[in-house]
Each structure stands twice: as C-alpha cells, then as structure tokens.
A and B are shown apart, each in its own frame.
Chain A
Amino acid sequence: MKRTRLLYTSALFGAALAGLPAISAAAEINIVREVDSNNYDPHKSTARAAAEVLFMVGDTLVALEPDMQTLSDGLAESWEVSDDGLVYTFHLKEGVQFCDGKAMTADDVVYSFKRWIDPETSSPVAWRAGDVEDIVAIDDRTVEYRLSEPFSELLYQLTQSFATVIDQDNVEALGADFGINGFNGTGPFCWEGWTPRDRMIMNKHDAYVWGPSFYENQGPAHLDRVVWQIVPEENTRTVALITGQTQITQYVPAIALEQLRSTPDLEVYRGDDAFWTYFMGFKVDKPTVSDEAVRQAINLAVDQEAIAQDLFFGEVEPALGYISQATLDWDPSLDSELLGYDPERANQLLDEAGWVRGGDGVRAKDGQRLAPLAYVFAGSTWQKISEAVQADLLEVGVDLQIQAFDATVAWGKMGTQEFDMFGMSYPYVSAGDALNLYFRSENMPSPNRMNWDDAETDEWLQTGKTALNDEDRSQAYSKVLHKVHDAAVWLPLYHEPMYIAQTTDLEPVVPHNNYGSGLYKGLDIRFRSE
C-alpha cells in the first residue's frame, strides 16, 4: 500500500538521519558557556564573557601566566619602568598585524589606550589605566606610557582585556556597531560573527606568530574555528559535554564535576588557585548592620565549610578572607584572625551588644528588629547561597530578608541605598586590584556599596597604588586588609576555583584565570594527534 510505503520511507529516513555521524571538520570546537556579553567593545563591557572572547580575538601589551602573578610578553616583547615609576616604555614585537592584514604600529596602541581613558568613551573601567599624563608613540615600535602618579598595578591592569589593542579605522567605520557587528584585532583568532545570546564564531588568524612566550605554541592557533555557544542551563551544558556536543568548557556546575571525572572520555582540570570570590557586603551606615558586633556575629554564625560541602560538593574553597590567600599581597598574618564558624561566640557578641531575642527568636534592640535586607542576583547559585546563609543566621536570631533581581536589573538596584546587605562575586588579579575597586571612598555608592568611607583606608590605598617597590606596596595593602577584616565589612563565602572540563580528544589544557577566563588565548587547545 502506498501509505505504508511512505511510512517505511520516512522511518528509514529518520533512522538514517539519526545514524549519520556529525560532520567534524578537522579542527573546530564548540565551547558552551552560561551567559553572553552585552558587547565586545573592550572599553564598554565588564563582563567575563567579553574578556573570554577579547583575549582570543585581540592581544594586550603584557600577558599574564597561569600562576596569575608572573608577567609575560604580549604585543610588547619587553618594557622598562623609570625609577620614579612614572614612565613605562614598551617595545613592540615586529611583524604584528591585524586580522585584515594591516600592520599594527605604536599608533594603534596609543589610539587604543587614549580611547580607553577618553571621557567621551565613558568607559566604566577607565580608572584601571591609572592617572595618565600622556601616551605617545616614540617610533613605530615604541610606546611611552606617562603617568602623573605612580601606579604599581599598571602592568597587571594592562594584561586585562580592557587594554586590548584595537584598530582605529575599524572603530570609526563601525561606529555604534563596533564590537557588535565586527572587531578587527591582532589575536590568535579573528571575529567571524556574533548572534547575541546564541553564539560567537571566530576563525584562526593564519598570520599569528606573536603569542606570549609562556605558551608552548606561540601561533598560529591549532584550531581552525571556535564557536562559543550560549547554554544557560547547567544540566544541558553537562550533558552536552558527555555527548560530545561541546569539547571544552569551564562552565560546569559543581554537582557534575565528580560525574565528569568518572566519564571515560572526559577529563577535568583544576587551576591551582581561586581568584573569583563570592561574598556579601554590609552597608556600614545602615541601622542594624552599622553595629560592628552585628557584622562580626554574622561572620561567626555562617558556616562556610558547610556551604562549600553541601551546596557545592566540596568543589569550592570556603572563604574567610576577602581575597584568596594565594593572591599577590595577601598578608598571612591575617590567617589566624579570620572569623571562622562559631555560633556560640556570635550569640555572645550579640547579647553583649544589647540585641535581645524576642518571642519569635529574632533579636531586637531599641525596638529595631535585627532583620537586614539583602539584595542578590536571581539564579540558582545565589538562591542556594542566600537560603543557606539565611538558615545559619536564624540560628543566632538574625532574620535575613532576601530579594533577588535578574542580573540586568540587579546592577541598577545595587547602586542604590535601599538595602543593608548585597551578594556579589568578582574576579581579581591582586590584593590591590580588589581593594582599590571596593574600598575607596570615591567609589561610593558603587562598587563601594558598603559606603566604607575611611580616610585612613583611602590614604593606604593610595600609598599602595603609587608604591615604587613590592615591599611598600604589600605593606600598605596589608594595613587595609587588616582594617577591613577587623571591621567585618564583608561576609566572605567562598572562592571559586577554575575548573576546565574537556574531552580526551583534546590535549590537556592548563586552566588560566585572568578575569575568570579559563581558556585565555586558546593557543594550547589542540586535538590529540593519533
């Protein structure tokens, strides 16, 4: 019968479709990740998703090794710093060119940096460039970066994606579409196309041979094509890895790591240190949390160890300090003073400070209930964290209120004075990076959402920032670290290490961590040759 035949044919067709192997071009990989960036203009996005892409399609003058401390060559093969710390002279590598084949010169570097700090650009990260007096091209391959005040962080800041060298013609030609419909960079890969919230495609930059020397392969990249695919759901990313629809990703949920390790064709690599910290901050001038005893008690009441174990299956490091203890300029003398889990002492502190438990078990003082309001990001991670914190605090009579906002709304909400606490996570390269960002009084109300307004802190931060040698710098930052930890301005929660899960078809990749970008320039991603 005709109908049955039709049925058979379609069944056969379906079977054939399912059985067909995926077409795999020699060297193309698919990387799944959780969220997209708002754009790929280095000066206009602070998203990790932007950094991930910019590191691959662009280059910075200075690069950072996976240990997150050692500087390496980037577009500059060498550099000198004047004794007064005011003049940085960069010597550029020879033969560097943009994706469109044009040679990259010192003028491009100058243009990029000037656009970064130009008030017209209104870059949210302009401060990272330091107090620039002028940036000049001495000749085609020499750039002088002149500061009006020393900036000990400068070289680290120049490793960030914000310092990516861009092409003036390209910026001007694209106008508002720069970093949206195109990007002409000097990186190991070239921009191919972007569909927001879906995928970012980049192809190999064939001429690329100027990769940082810490990479075994300085170029060109082993891969012909990289596709970044947005998959917001944790579980889908995990099964995508298991079924080979993605070859490598750093966006694997803690719950899945053990399973992935035991999957035959997969491997999970962990970076040595964690430079991404989750914390809750207190607005120190709000009733209830303005009381230092309350902030300390909250720190004592929360069991970070349990959070790390129960919610993240021991795959994250419980945090008692505000930055990872492996960070440059962390002061080990603080280790013994950190506020660990001790609910008894928390209760005692609150009792002494006059916060008395009411009938419902919640403390109050002078008619003020101890029920601070926290703003957090919507999503399963912060939901889990904040509910765990809430439960711990209830034990000592603190009734934490939580309001969650979607990321786009949350940033605006967190710039207000409406809340008592806020949940946040952030990447950093050094103590100075973290402290200058969050604790300077001029950064109120955001990112200094704590309203931490302290002249001494400002002074030490300035000392550290303008220090001319390592010792002065770490001493200054150590003072700040002591001061803010003593005042319990934050409730640190955990440090998230960098995990990279990949198929064994690829050679092992060394997890990087610059701005939380695990794959960095992607020069070491390659298929195993059988």
Chain B
Amino acid sequence: MIETIANRLLLSIPVLFGVLLLGFVLVQVAPGDPARVLAGPSAPPEVIEQIRQRMGLDDPFFTQFFGYLGRVLQGDLGRSLISNKTVLSELIAAIGPTMELMFACLIWSIPLGIAMGTLAAVWRGSLVDRGVMAFSVAGVSLPIFFICLILIQYVGVQWRLLPFIGRGGPLWTVEGLRHIALPALSLGLIFIGPVARMTRSSVLEVLKLDHVRTARAKGLGEFRVVMRHGLRNALIPVVTLVGLQAGYLLGGAVVTETIFSYPGIGRLAVGAILSSDFPLAQGTILVLALAFILINMLVDVLYALLDPRTQKR
C-alpha cells in the first residue's frame, strides 16, 4: 500500500511540473502585455518599459520559468492585477468555502445515491429500479446551470425558503447552512445519478457471489443479505467513482459557485480569466490541479484500505 502511495506521489511530480509550466506559458502567450495591464490604460511607454524590466519580461524563457518556479516554491504567487491583493491570500480565502461546498454536497448526495442504488439493485426490475435509473440518467443529462437557475427561481424567489447569494458564514452557523443549502443541493443533484448507478451495478455483482447466495438460501431477507454481506464490497467501486468524478464535480462547482455568487475557488478562477488577471488565473489553476491530484491520491489510498486485493496487484 505504501508502494501505491509512493507511486502516486512520484507520478504527481511530472503532473505538477506540467501544471506549473502550463500556468507559466499561459501568461507568456496571453494576448495583452502584462506590463501594460499592470501599468494601467494611460501609462506612458517609459513606465511600461520600466515595469517590463522590473518583472523581467525581457529575460529568456527558461530564466523566467525557473524564476517563477523558485517564487512558487516560496509561496510567492504574485499579486492579482485586478485587486492588488497577493494571489496567495486570495486563494487561501477561497479554499475554505470551496471545501465546505464539496463537503456539504457529498455529505448528502453520496448516502442518498448509495441508498437509491441499493434499493434499485435489491428490487431489480421493479418500479423503484426503473425510477432510480430514470432519475440517474436524467441527472447526468441536465446542465448544472439549469438546475441552479430552477432552484433559485422556485426555492429562492417564489417560495422564499432559502437565500441564494454568497456565503452566510461557517458551516456550523445557521446562516452558513442556509446559504450553502441551495449550492450544495444543485451540485449534489448532478452527483447522485452516477453514485446510484455505480452502487446498483456493483450490488448486483455482489448479489451473484456464492456466500451471498448461501445467505439468501438460508432464508434471510434480500435487504438484510445486502446490508450484511454485500454493501461493504459494493462500496469499493463507489469510492473509485468519487475520484474519477472529481473533475466532473469540480466543473460543477465552478458553475455553481459562479451562479450563487459563492466565494470559492471556482468563481475566483472564472473571474480571473474573464478579467485577464493572469497571476490569479495561474494561481487558481494551480490550486485546482493540486486539489484534483490530491483527491485522486486519497482515493487510491482509500481503495487500498477497503480492498485487500489491491495489495496483490
């Protein structure tokens, strides 16, 4: 298992390097001169030239790249061109809310998805099964922004049940919970489908296994059989799924945060890119990629923990 983790870590080094290079190239080839953006619209050419020199924009590519690497390793990601805040401080402020949102989304959608998938498998072919499958296909086919807009329109505007702007505070406060409810609901709705589907098919597999058949032969109820023998094994693929779908979830979070004016990394990234704030865009992309790598590593570890067979592989 340690080997798995080590492997994973080694693998992530070139990936990280790639992300850094990508982020760096981004600023290099982006339209618009960063010095010009920094200097402001009416700055005379001399000022722009000064800034170019100070930023080292005329140095050779690799000198600049390694300079950038060195700064990143020291935690210096530069300052946002738009807000003048250090990129690091903006990122730190946004990471918490995004993690909260992810947590609030997964905490309800995974259990519900697993429950739905299990029920569908146990009552295979029944109305419940069909309902769950239809729901999950519809779920993965709905554009996330549509879900968000519908929820805002009905829950937020017509019924006035929940707020839909910004973050109300930490998760453990009433306002925090009220504000995160709609974004977490939207994001979770697109995630239940894949979870339910995956659970259903893996529970079905498990039901075919010998010891489960024996248990069933002993006259135990279908549901009990599943709970006692099947679910643990059936959960393994579900864990993998969360890792595989992390990118999908991340994409959903970008849209959800933007629509709900929720101050997370996704909204920060979109804002930075739309306003050509290159250092900040660089920073957000770096953090998002890091998060993605981390999630996948965690999933690998979890997988290894849950499934003793992986050690043999």
Contact = CB atoms under 8 A, between A and B. Distances in A.
Chain A–chain B contact at Cβ < 8 A: yes
The size class of the interface chain B forms with chain A is 35 or more
B275 A180 contact: no
A414 B275 contact: no
Contacts of A176: 79, 84
B42 A415 contact: yes
A434 interface: no
A240 interface: yes
A17 interface: yes
Contact of B82 (A38, A195, A240, A242): A38
Contacts of B32: 409, 412
B263 interface: yes
Interface string B166-200: 10000000110110010000000000000000000
B37 A412 contact: yes
A412 B81 CA distance: 13
A197 B91 CA distance: 13
Given A17-B178, A239-B152, A229 B163 contact: no
A239 B157 contact: yes
Contacts of B268: 197
Contact of B276 (A36, A39, A409): A409
A39 B79 CA distance: 12
A28 to B, nearest CB: 12
Interface string A214-256: 0000000000000001111100100110111110000000000
B9 interface: no
Interface string A192-226: 00011111000000000000000000000000000
- Residue picked from A38, A177, A411, most chain B C-beta under 10 Å: A38
Interface stretch (A18-26, A319-327, A352-360): A18-26
A485 B79 CA distance: 44
Contacts of B165: 32, 229, 231, 236, 240, 245-246
A97 interface: no
B177 A243 contact: no
Nearest to A378: B274
Nearest to B271: A197
Contacts of A408: 37, 81-82, 275-277
B37 A196 contact: no
B152 A236 contact: yes
Contacts of A236: 152, 164-165, 259, 261
A240 B162 CA distance: 11
A243 B160 contact: yes
Contact of B85 (A18, A181, A243): A181
Interface in A380-431: 406-409, 411-412, 414-415
B156 interface: yes
Given A180-B83, A229-B166, A22 B36 contact: no
A22 B268 CA distance: 27
Interface of B: 31-33, 36-37, 40-43, 47, 79-85, 90, 93, 108, 115, 152, 155-157, 160-166, 174-175, 177-178, 181, 259, 261, 263, 267-268, 271, 274-277
Interface of A: 3, 10, 14, 17-20, 22-23, 32, 36, 38-39, 122, 124, 176-177, 180-181, 195-199, 229-233, 236, 239-240, 242-246, 406-409, 411-412, 414-415, 446-447
27 contacts: A23-B175, A38-B84, A39-B84, A180-B84, A196-B83, A197-B263, A198-B261, A229-B166, A231-B165, A232-B261, A236-B261, A239-B152, A239-B156, A240-B164, A243-B157, A244-B160, A246-B165, A406-B274, A407-B275, A408-B277, A411-B40, A412-B32, A412-B41, A414-B41, A415-B41, A415-B42, A446-B41
